[in-house]
């Protein structure tokens, strides 16, 4: 069996742009705060939303209420305003023959599980790790440490794949190999400065690399 592979969710397995940004807009409108356009909110995809709402509202004390309003819409509608990146389903099926696969996302685990089930991806993964609704383990370093322990896997033989600096930093802090992808919401400068060892432009590029790797 080859080494375990951990995947981020948003911007790595699925494109959640409209579900996340529309739910952010909903929350800001309810709070009578300025509502940026959709494309001006893509920076919020990936990092913990509580931090993003503190910046968007200009008031850290208001951020928890904004997150509550966000979830009112996201849990019923925004969750499924999402789509799987082309090629991901085939990649997971091929990798699963030789690798234990996991999801490690800062999104609340209850939402991640529903998304992966909805899109028919859940069965590819041995376990799905995410934050709790109260924000516990929303930090990627903490989340990956927990995931490695729960899965009984060693960081030194594990790989983390994601589109944002948080994925790379969390991986490196846990002794994991970090691979970055550019088809999500981070750019090359962000990923390389965070320490990603290799960066891939497309799902196809990532697939060629992963499926050609020799056994560990």
Q: How do the domains of the chain map onto residue ranges?
A: 5-15+83-212, 17-80
Q: pLDDT, tens digit, for every residue of 160-214?
A: 999 999 999 999 999 999 999 999 999 999 999 999 999 999 999 999 999 986 5
Q: pLDDT, tens digit, for every residue of 88-98?
A: 999 999 999 99
162 Cα distance to chain centroid = 7
- Is there a shared CATH topology between the 5-15+83-212 domain and the 17-80 domain? no
Contacts of 13 (CB under 8 A, 6+ apart): 7, 84, 85, 88, 103, 116, 121
Q: Say how far apart CA 69 and CA 63 lie, in whole Å.
A: 10
What pLDDT does 184 receive?
A: 95
Q: Residues 136, 104: contact at Cβ < 8 Å?
A: no
Average pLDDT, the chain: 94
Based on the residue annotation, tell me whether 10 is a catalytic residue of this protein.
Answer: no
Q: How far is CA 204 from CA 9, 87, 132, 181, 210, in A?
A: 17, 7, 32, 11, 10
Q: Which CATH class is domain 5-15+83-212?
A: alpha beta
Residue 110 pLDDT > 90: yes
Look up residue 196 and give its two tokens. Answer: 């990603």
Q: pLDDT, tens digit, for every residue of 52-65?
A: 999 999 999 999 99
Residue 159 pLDDT > 70: yes
Q: Say how far apart CA 69 and CA 103 lie, in whole Å.
A: 26
User: Residue 137 belongs to what H/E stretch?
Assistant: none
**Which CATH fold would you assign to the domain 17-80?**
DNA polymerase; domain 1 (1.10.150)
Q: Say how far apart CA 172 and CA 151 lie, in whole Å.
A: 18
Q: How far is CA 115 from CA 16, 107, 109, 185, in A?
A: 10, 11, 10, 19
Under the banding of pLDDT at 50, 70 and 90, the label for residue 216 is: very low
Catalytic residue among 8, 10, 163, 167: 8
């Amino acid at each position: 069996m080859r080494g375990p592979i951990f995947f981020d969710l948003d911007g790595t397995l699925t494109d959640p742009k409209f579900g996340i940004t529309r739910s952010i807009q909903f929350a800001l409108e309810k709070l009578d705060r300025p509502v940026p356009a959709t494309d001006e909110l893509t920076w919020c995809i990936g990092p913990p939303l509580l931090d993003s709402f503190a910046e968007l509202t200009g008031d850290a004390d208001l951020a928890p209420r904004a997150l509550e309003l966000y979830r009112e819409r996201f849990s019923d509608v925004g969750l499924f305003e999402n789509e799987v990146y082309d090629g991901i389903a085939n990649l997971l099926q091929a990798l699963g023959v030789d690798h234990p696969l996991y999801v490690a996302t800062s999104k609340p685990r209850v939402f991640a599980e529903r998304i992966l089930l909805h899109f028919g991806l859940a069965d590819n993964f041995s376990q799905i790790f995410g934050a709790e609704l109260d924000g516990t383990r929303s930090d990627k370093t903490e989340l990956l440490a927990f995931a490695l322990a729960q899965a009984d896997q060693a960081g030194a033989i594990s790989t983390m794949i994601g589109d944002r600096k948080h994925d790379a930093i969390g991986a490196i802090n846990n002794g994991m190999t970090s691979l970055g992808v550019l088809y999500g919401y981070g750019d090359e400068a962000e990923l390389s400065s965070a320490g990603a060892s290799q960066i891939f432009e497309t799902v196809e590029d990532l697939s060629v690399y992963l499926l050609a790797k020799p056994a560990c």
